[in-house]
């Protein structure tokens, strides 16, 4: 075998060995993926119209949620919060000081879907919208047409 052929054979052998090592490493890493976190009770669009306290054996969408922004109604009043669940990828609005009947508030997703306060929850929060889209929370006094909203998040 000539020098040129030998160099080619050695380079080919090194490439094969490197590919084998990388492939073996990939197979070793795969079992770590099999231990993924348990799924949320809903995700994104499947959460629309559901209570944020919906849960499964792994937890609820409201557990660990964060407030992204707040808005107060024109003329003053309680703030409405735009809530976000990273686990469920869902948004909802929550009234800081629930006063049934005194305030209208809602959460709205970018596609125009609006969800309003849940009556049996003491009007403390709304149903959820798809959090894979931008969303905002809005509040309005019951006796006025003026309202205020958070920015889109």
- From first to last of the 153 residues of the chain, give the pLDDT tens digit: 565 555 555 555 555 555 554 445 444 444 555 556 789 999 999 999 999 999 998 899 999 999 999 999 988 889 999 999 999 999 999 998 876 667 889 999 999 999 998 877 767 899 999 999 999 999 998 788 899 999 999
Residue 11: phi, psi to the nearest 5?
A: -65, -40
Please report the sign of the dihedral spanned by the C-alpha atoms of residue 149, residue 79, residue 103, residue 112. positive
Instruction: Output the pLDDT for position 119.
Output: 75
Coil, strand or helix at 5: helix
Distance in Å from the first CA to the final CA of the chain:
68
Q: Where along the chain do its domains lie? A: 1-36, 44-149
Question: Which helix (DSSP H) or strand (DSSP E) does residue 7 occupy?
Answer: helix 3-33
Bridge partners of 116, per DSSP, are: 106
| Phi, psi angles (nearest 5°) of residue 68 | -90, -35
Distances (CA, A) of 143 to 92, 124, 137: 23, 19, 19
**Closest residue by Cα to residue 85 from 135, 36, 149, 150:** 135
79 and 98 Cβ atoms separated by less than 8 Å: no
Determine the 3-state secondary structure of 8 from DSSP: helix
pLDDT of residue 16: 58
- Tell me the residue length of the chain: 153
């Amino acid at each position: 075998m000539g020098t040129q052929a030998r160099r080619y054979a050695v380079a080919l052998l090194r490439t094969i060995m490197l590919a084998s090592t990388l492939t073996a490493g990939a197979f070793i890493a795969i079992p770590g993926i099999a231990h993924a976190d348990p799924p949320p009770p809903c995700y994104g669009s499947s959460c629309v119209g559901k209570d944020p306290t919906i849960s499964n054996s792994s937890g609820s969408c409201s557990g660990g949620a964060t407030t992204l922004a707040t808005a107060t109604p024109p003329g003053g009043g309680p703030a409405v919060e735009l809530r976000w669940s990273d686990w469920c990828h869902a948004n909802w609005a929550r009234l800081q000081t629930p006063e049934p009947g005194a305030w209208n508030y809602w959460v709205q997703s970018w596609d125009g879907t609006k969800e309003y306060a849940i009556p049996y929850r003491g009007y403390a929060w709304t149903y959820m919208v798809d959090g894979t889209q931008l969303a905002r929370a809005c509040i309005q006094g019951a006796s006025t047409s003026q309202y205020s909203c958070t920015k889109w998040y």
